């Protein structure tokens, strides 16, 4: 006992150094100050000048009541104030599975925080709020919040998803594992549109979509997402402006309703057979892969043949310059997979898009023996097998043409490599591939000379052989001769009567005139190993443009017939999207 007023020391080895009304009541205990009560073994209790007892609650406690705060190396401004060259607190757990713990709580009856950690005078904070939300503050503004639901919000204090960002995000790589398509929500004018349906713009209800009802519909918007549990990986919408409705897949992988009533759906089929209407249109989005297959006949999925029928995986939607259209045999005949190199009828004034890179067929009003359509210095882009874009320059027509690099070195298409290679002249005078692709080799180092050409005799032989093959394939000449013979036979009786009377045989007038407004059909064809490089839009302008001058032409096909008919004939064409001929249908 060190003195003081009415202090008591009842413990063995206990101490009361002084003060007032202090009690050291257990072994090794110490009580000091005012009304300090060390009631347990090993307890150290110090109480400030406030009234009322301040007691230990268990053995070996160090208890301090200091209303003005505790300062270490400083006079305190807080309940605990530490000043040091580097203020560090260290907590080490020696016998607990959960490690060291700092707990912040608020025992008051009305509060907004359970606790907070402040930085720089409170400009930065980590706050655990009433309602079990944790917020993160910088520069005195809330930046991020973890709601009691676990949702994390950045730029919002009311996160509606696991991660809700109100603002712009930037990332190097984004891996999406919960969905496989990019979708936008659209309101539907029809009810209960099943997932996987192809939907189109509803002209009677602006801003809404409806199921497609016909083939090759140019109003297609996309495919209703969500079929077979494949969800959107990215959903695009603008709050308050573009909300509500069903998610429609615009790109990515998505299951689609498909009819398999006429055979199994195979990889590499065409988008026109998706759903019950085959509607995906040119210049929009195509579907390729399992789930898209050429079908003829019933346009609606039958029982057991709808969603996912014959599908191994979702179809793939991608932006594409044009879609294959449904290939129907003409006049009931089966397609033989012919690959004509030029239109059935051409005007020599208009060199067409004939090239080794794409072929197309125009079914015109007139039928005559095919005439060559020359082109000169036509720059044609091409993509080599490794993805390198090249450009070659061609001159000639569909029966004979030469292609060179921009520098003037002759090239040929190497079918074994599927690429354009430098050409060299063989001992028999033919131009053959060097097997060196033109973007990978130096023609001078290969010992090649520019502007290599076939010998004249070989060139004429090639032209003759190609004309013969063309005639055998189209039978244009044969059919034209048959038509002339029929016309002569029909005119023979009248001609005989006039001739027997000593008169001049008159020329019979045509049975009908081709005037007015006529509409033709232009079918665009390319091949899986030789894809088209000339856009459909260029061919539409070539056929129907009013001031067309592309590819060295002086007007369109429509303008040509207007000119030669003195304005009596307006002939335009419906130009299809490209028809992709698979390898199994052509050599």
Q: How many C-beta atoms surround the C-beta of residue 29 within 10 A?
A: 30
Checking if the pLDDT of 375 tops 60, the result is: yes
Q: What is the pLDDT of residues 312-356, one digit of tens each?
A: 344 444 333 222 222 232 333 333 332 222 222 222 222 333 333
Checking if the pLDDT of 581 tops 50, the result is: yes
Report which of 383, 385, 354 is spatially closest to residue 370, judged by C-alpha positions.
Answer: 354
Per-residue confidence at 181, pLDDT binned at 50, 70, 90? confident
Task: Please give the pLDDT value at position 420.
Answer: 93
533 vs 504, residue with greater confidence: 533
Domain locations along the chain? 8-82, 113-165, 181-319, 339-366+514-587, 378-474
**Alpha-carbon gap, residue 67 to 107, rounded angstroms:** 17
Pair of tokens at residue 334: 């089966």
Say whether 541 sits in a helix, a strand or coil: helix
Checking if the pLDDT of 187 tops 60, the result is: yes
Task: Please give the pLDDT value at position 494.
Answer: 58
Q: What is the pLDDT of residues 263-309, one digit of tens each?
A: 566 655 544 434 433 333 323 333 333 333 333 333 333 333 333 33
203 vs 98, residue with greater confidence: 203
Beta pairing, strands 62-65 & 44-47: parallel
Task: Please give the pLDDT value at position 585.
Answer: 65
Query: What is the pTM (predicted TM-score) of this model?
Result: 0.39
Going from the C-alpha of 500 to that of each of 204, 490, 504, 508, 513, the distances in angstroms are 70, 17, 10, 17, 30
Q: What is the pLDDT of residues 439-469, one digit of tens each?
A: 999 999 999 999 999 988 898 998 889 888 8
272 vs 254, residue with greater confidence: 254
Task: Please give the pLDDT value at position 343.
Answer: 27
Checking if the pLDDT of 256 tops 50, the result is: yes
47 vs 300, residue with greater confidence: 47
**Alpha-carbon gap, residue 511 to 141, rounded angstroms:** 88
**Alpha-carbon gap, residue 259 to 274, rounded angstroms:** 7
- What average pLDDT does this structure show over 482-505? 67
Count of alpha carbons within 13 Å of 351, Cβ hemisphere only? 18
Checking if the pLDDT of 572 tops 90, the result is: yes
Taking each helix axis from N to C end, the angle separating 536-544 and 557-564, rounded to the nearest 10 degrees, works out to 10
Q: Which of 113-127, 132-146, 206-220, 314-328 has the highest mean pLDDT?
A: 132-146
Task: Using alpha carbons only, give the angle 375, 377, 383 rounded to the nearest 5 degrees.
Answer: 100
Task: Using alpha carbons only, give the angle 565, 571, 577 rounded to the nearest 5 degrees.
Answer: 155
Residue 46's Cβ-count burial label (10 Å; 0-12, 13-18, 19+) is buried
Checking if the pLDDT of 365 tops 70, the result is: no
Per-residue confidence at 109, pLDDT binned at 50, 70, 90? low
Listed range (193-197, 258-262, 462-466) with the worst mean pLDDT:
258-262
Checking if the pLDDT of 499 tops 70, the result is: no
> What does pLDDT average to over the chain?
76
Helix residue ranges per DSSP H, 431-455: none
Say whether 443 sits in a helix, a strand or coil: coil
Q: Which residue has the tokens 């026109």?
A: 272
- What average pLDDT does this structure show over 117-136? 83
Checking if the pLDDT of 9 tops 80, the result is: yes
Going from the C-alpha of 508 to that of each of 253, 511, 565, the distances in angstroms are 63, 9, 20
**Alpha-carbon gap, residue 255 to 237, rounded angstroms:** 22
45 vs 112, residue with greater confidence: 45
CATH no. for 181-319: 2.40.300.10
**Alpha-carbon gap, residue 122 to 118, rounded angstroms:** 5
Per-residue confidence at 507, pLDDT binned at 50, 70, 90? low
Task: Please give the pLDDT value at position 529.
Answer: 82
Task: Please give the pLDDT value at position 566.
Answer: 83
- What average pLDDT does this structure show over 28-52? 94
């Amino acid at each position: 006992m060190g003195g003081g007023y009415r202090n008591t020391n009842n413990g063995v080895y206990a101490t009361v150094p002084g003060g007032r009304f202090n009690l050291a009541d257990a072994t090794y205990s110490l009580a000091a100050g005012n009304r300090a009560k060390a009631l347990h073994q090993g307890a150290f209790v110090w109480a400030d000048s406030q009234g009322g007892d301040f007691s230990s609650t268990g053995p070996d406690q160090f208890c301090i009541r200091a209303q003005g705060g505790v300062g270490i190396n400083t006079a305190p401004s807080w309940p605990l104030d530490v000043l040091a060259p580097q203020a560090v607190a260290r907590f080490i757990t020696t016998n607990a599975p959960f490690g060291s713990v700092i707990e912040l709580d608020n025992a008051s009856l009305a509060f907004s925080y359970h606790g907070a950690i402040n930085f720089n005078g409170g400009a930065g904070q980590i706050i655990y709020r009433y309602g079990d939300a944790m917020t993160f503050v910088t520069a005195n503004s809330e930046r991020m919040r973890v709601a009691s639901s676990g949702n994390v919000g950045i730029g919002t204090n009311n996160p509606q998803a696991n991660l809700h960002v109100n603002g712009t995000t930037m990332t190097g790589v984004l891996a999406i594992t919960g969905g496989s398509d990019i979708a936008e929500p659209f309101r539907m004018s029809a009810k209960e549109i099943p997932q996987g349906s192809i939907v189109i713009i509803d002209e009677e209800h602006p801003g809404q979509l409806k199921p497609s009802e016909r083939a090759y519909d140019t109003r297609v918007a996309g495919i209703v997402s969500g079929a077979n549990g494949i969800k959107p990986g990215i959903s695009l919408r603008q709050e308050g402006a573009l909300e509500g409705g069903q998610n429609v897949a615009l790109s990515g992988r998505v299951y689609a309703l498909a009819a398999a009533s006429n055979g199994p759906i195979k990889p590499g089929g065409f988008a026109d057979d998706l759903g019950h209407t085959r509607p995906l249109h040119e210049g929009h989005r195509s579907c390729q892969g399992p789930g898209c297959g050429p079908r003829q006949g019933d346009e609606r999925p039958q029982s057991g043949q709808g969603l996912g029928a014959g599908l191994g995986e979702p179809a793939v939607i991608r932006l594409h310059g044009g879609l294959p259209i449904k290939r129907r045999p003409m006049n009931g005949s089966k397609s033989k997979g012919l690959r004509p190199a030029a239109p059935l009828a051409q005007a020599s004034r208009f060199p067409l898009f004939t090239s080794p890179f794409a072929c197309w067929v125009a079914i015109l009003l007139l039928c005559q023996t095919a005439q060559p359509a020359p082109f000169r210095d036509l720059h044609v882009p091409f993509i080599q097998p490794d993805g390198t874009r090249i450009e070659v320059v061609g001159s000639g027509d569909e029966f004979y043409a030469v292609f060179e690099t921009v520098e003037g070195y002759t090239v040929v298409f190497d079918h074994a490599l599927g690429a354009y290679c430098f050409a060299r002249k063989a001992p028999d005078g033919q131009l053959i591939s060097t097997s060196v692709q033109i973007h990978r080799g130096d023609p001078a180092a290969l010992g090649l000379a520019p502007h290599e050409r076939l010998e004249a005799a070989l060139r004429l032989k090639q032209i003759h052989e190609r004309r013969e093959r063309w005639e055998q394939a189209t039978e244009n000449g044969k059919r034209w001769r048959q038509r002339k013979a029929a016309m002569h036979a029909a005119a023979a009786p009248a001609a005989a009567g006039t001739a027997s009377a000593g008169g001049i045989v008159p020329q019979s007038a045509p049975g009908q005139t081709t005037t007015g407004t006529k509409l033709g059909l232009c079918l665009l064809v390319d091949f899986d190993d030789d894809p088209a490089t000339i856009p459909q839009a260029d061919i539409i302008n070539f056929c129907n443009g009013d001031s067309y001058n592309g590819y060295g032409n002086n007007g369109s096909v429509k303008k040509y017939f207007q000119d030669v008919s003195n304005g009596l004939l307006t002939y335009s064409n419906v130009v299809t999207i490209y028809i992709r001929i698979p390898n199994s249908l052509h050599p």
